[in-house]
Structure 1
Amino acid sequence: MAGETQRIAAIKDPFALLRAATNRLAEAQQEVTELSRLRQRVIAELHDQGMSYAQIAAEAGLTRGRIHQLRQSAPGPESAFLGNTRLIIATPLKQEAQNARPVLAAEDFAAAQRLGDLARSYKLDPSFEHVPIGGDIDLNREDLIVICGPRLSSHVAGVLAQDPSIQFERAPDGPWTLRDQETGTAYRSGMDSTPATNSDVAYLGRLPRPDGRGLVMVLTGIHPQGTLGVIHLIVHDLADLYEKVGTGRFSVLVNVDYDPASNEPMNVRLLSPFYRHGAN
């Protein structure tokens, strides 16, 4: 019996033992998932370098069938773009004049659900929470994705202000815009333009947390339609995103053309390169 298991088994209080065993199981599962992802990544890299699965199996002391089984059973390495064994998805509540209670935009709800479905497909465990009215949210947590912009949370605004390449700015006539600091170009949502178009501009980035001890992913459109476009990009191009930026700091601008009847994205394209920020 391993030392940690012996320690837990020796706990006299049954409820303390139950809590300790549950916590240790969660930690062990995270280790198993991370090791499985690492093992799959090494197999894929060796195969990409020209080795056959039979050769990899022979060198590793495994059978070819076991190598194929490992490839199929482990979550793809690109799942690390989202998180480790879990994923916390936070969406903002808004106060609308006609409603006494705070509400969640339908697009933000759909975005969170689609992200959760993607996480589950990679054997991650998603949970959902809200950024409350006033924007007070703890951003100093692992595996957190926040679907929120600077208007609804000063905490999120503080994180976004660290981005050296892309900034949210107010236009002189009021609407929010996204400025590419590298080119000097300011992008305005189509619905805030004259004539108006069925398009939006959105942000996706991973930036330092306020405590400086990790990173937090933030995504949002200038309007909710743009948020759905970013989710479309993540869902359909996760492997490419992981290949380009891994789990490090980055940001990118996204243009989203949407169906005005459903607000669903019809065409999603990048407006900027993937800007990688400093040491990752």
Structure 2
Amino acid sequence: MLDAVPDWTIASFGVGPVTVAVPLRQLSGRALPVISSEDTRAAELLSALLADLSFRVEQFRIPPGGEWEPMRDVVAICGPKSSPVTAAAIEADPYLMFEPDEAGKWTIRERDGGRVYESPMDLAGEQRWSDVAYVGRLPVPGSDRLFLVVAGVHALGSAGAGDYLARNLPDLYAQVGTRPFSMVVISDHDGETVTRSELLCPPRVHQ
């Protein structure tokens, strides 16, 4: 990484190089695992942001079983359904849950029983391409190191979260500093283009 960059870049992502990790998915009838186009788009957005901030960016493919060990400075574009590592990290969040409901539909919920953040794509009668995503700086399970987790309810939401971070990172740092936190982002899409991304649940610092 280059010298004389804003302090919030180091506070947000570490000293680098930064690894952007995305999950490989094993599809029925395919010999080789694949990466969703939405996860690819999210990785492109965050990799471009990191490069603009003078970080050296490395890529990592989380295997289909989801077992991996986050090393050094990591951004994981991976939800709890795709990896037990990110599932365990989110499970430790004191404010938000990211789990399937009784019907098996994945939602982000307040642990105190308050709001439920559903993907508009899952709501009856909704015709728009819109999704929600969990974003958190969390402890790596079994470690005191932190990593950034970006996880859409659907893969589309991860791209929206990447767009939000690319446009709002200094403001986010002003609110959370170097501390663990979590929040929810909602986004609208036109194909692979994010047309809107904004906070649905503001960042909460984990005590």
Name structure 1 gaps, 5 residues minimum.
1-29, 37-73
> 1:129 deviation in Å?
0.7
Runs of 4+ in 1 over 3 A off after TM superposition: none
**Alignment deviations for residues 228-248 of structure 1 (CA, whole Å, 9 cap, x no partner):** 111001111111111111221
> Residue 269 of structure 1 aligns with which residue?
198
> Residue 157 of structure 1 aligns with which residue?
87
Picking from 175, 178, 191, the partner of 2:108 is 178
Q: What's the % identity of the aligned pairs?
A: 34
State the one-letter code of the partner of 2:82: L
State the one-letter code of the partner of 1:163: D
Alignment of 1:199-214 (within 5 A): 199-214=130-145
Kindly report the root-mean-square deviation, in angstroms, between the aligned alpha carbons of the 2 structures: 1.6
> 1:183 deviation in Å?
5.9
Aligned equivalents of 1:213, 1:147: Cα separation in 2: 20
> 1:172 deviation in Å?
2.3
**Alignment deviations for residues 94-124 of structure 1 (CA, whole Å, 9 cap, x no partner):** 1122422100011111211221121111111
Picking from 64, 67, 72, the partner of 1:133 is 64
From the two aligned structures, give the one with the greater helix fraction.
1
Alignment of 1:210-221 (within 5 A): 210-221=141-152
Q: Structure 1 114/273 Cα, relative in aligned 2: closer, same or farther at 3 Å?
A: closer
TM-score by length of 2: 0.93
Aligned equivalents of 2:142, 2:111: Cα separation in 1: 25
Tell me the matched-pair count: 205
Q: Structure 1 263/98 Cα, relative in aligned 2: closer, same or farther at 3 Å?
A: farther
Q: Which has the higher contact order (CA 8 A, sep 6+)?
A: 2
> 1:85 deviation in Å?
2.9
State the one-letter code of the partner of 2:55: L
TM-score by length of 1: 0.69
Structure (1 or 2) with the larger CA radius of gyration: 1
State the one-letter code of the partner of 2:72: E
Alignment of 1:189-200 (within 5 A): 189-196=119-126, 197-200=128-131
Aligned equivalents of 2:55, 2:178: Cα separation in 1: 16
> Residue 45 of structure 2 aligns with which residue?
114
> Residue 255 of structure 1 aligns with which residue?
186
SS in 1 for 2:201: coil
* Conservation of the 8 A alpha-carbon contact between 2:78 and 2:149: yes
**Alignment deviations for residues 209-235 of structure 1 (CA, whole Å, 9 cap, x no partner):** 123321111111101111011100111
